[in-house]
Amino acid sequence: MPDEAGTIGLRVARYRPDTDSEPGWQEYDVPLRREWTVLDALNHVKNEVDPTLSFRWSCRMGICGSCGMDVDGTPRLTCGTFLADFAPGPIRVEPLSNFPVVRDLVVDIDDFIQKLPRVKPWIIRDEEKSVDEGEYLQSPEELDAYKQFSMCINCMLCYAACPVYGLDPDFVGPAAIALAERYDLDSRDQGARERLDVLIEHEGVWGCTFVGECTRVCPKHVDPAGAIQRYKLKAARESVKALLLPRGAR
């Protein structure tokens, strides 16, 4: 087990669009402490060595999702990725794949933010109850039906791992589809048909080739790949109904 006397190398991707014509690398030596994460090491560099290094972080507890980066080629939350697991190093740290780089380790996620409302990730009601009628109650079993898919923290690791998103800019992506499934499974929601009309298109679920990397890298075990396959089944059922049943009987 490493102690505080040792060091480990960080090989960090650098890109400053105001001065750099293309991305490059910079290497730093940081203390190899058993309790330190990659995010701790980056903060050490920022605070003690090179204040020009840019990256995102907030909670340091695996909740906010903002510190996602590629670590040795795998998308990870750097606040939960320990230096000791990569000893003796060096550790390669890069911005998340499949996103435009703003600066150094910071990426532009505007594409996801713009696509997310298309799947309507909120509760839709045909008719709202009045306040006097009380709350929309759920049983523990009804909560369990969607709870797994509600754990998404929008960290973008699944998008960085998804080869389809990297190749097809129109693909809505795994996190958005998982969030659509979260609301479809909510007993209070009545908007499943509206979401299916969006996701039944090629840029929805049919763009996915089921590589499964999105689920593998998810730090919250949401299983976006599973959500996509469930949606494909729903889409297939609707297609069969459209062929076999008159419109009023669907």
pLDDT tens digits, 48-98: 999 999 999 999 999 999 999 999 999 999 999 999 999 998 999 999 999
| Cα–Cα distance measured from residue 76 to residue 106, given in angstroms and rounded to the nearest whole number | 14
pLDDT higher than threshold 60 for residue 214 = yes
pLDDT mean over 125-136: 89
| Cα–Cα distance measured from residue 41 to residue 48, given in angstroms and rounded to the nearest whole number | 10
Kindly give, in sequence order, each residue whose CB lies less than 8 Å from that of residue 220, ignoring residues fewer than 6 positions away: 151, 152, 153
Quickly state the pLDDT bin for 153 (edges 50, 70, 90).
Answer: very high
Which residue reads 């090491």 in tokens? 41
Instruction: Choose between 45 and 249: higher pLDDT.
Output: 45
Quickly state the pLDDT bin for 128 (edges 50, 70, 90).
Answer: confident
Structural domains of the chain ordered from first start: 7-107 (3.10.20.30), 110-249 (1.10.1060.10)
Q: What is the pLDDT of residue 202?
A: 86
pLDDT mean over 171-176: 96
Verdict on whether the full-model pTM lies above 0.85: yes
Give the Å distances, CA to CA, from 83 to 73, 75, 78, 80. Answer: 15, 15, 10, 10
Q: What is the pLDDT of residue 4?
A: 56
Q: What is the pLDDT of residue 238?
A: 81
pLDDT higher than threshold 50 for residue 114 = yes
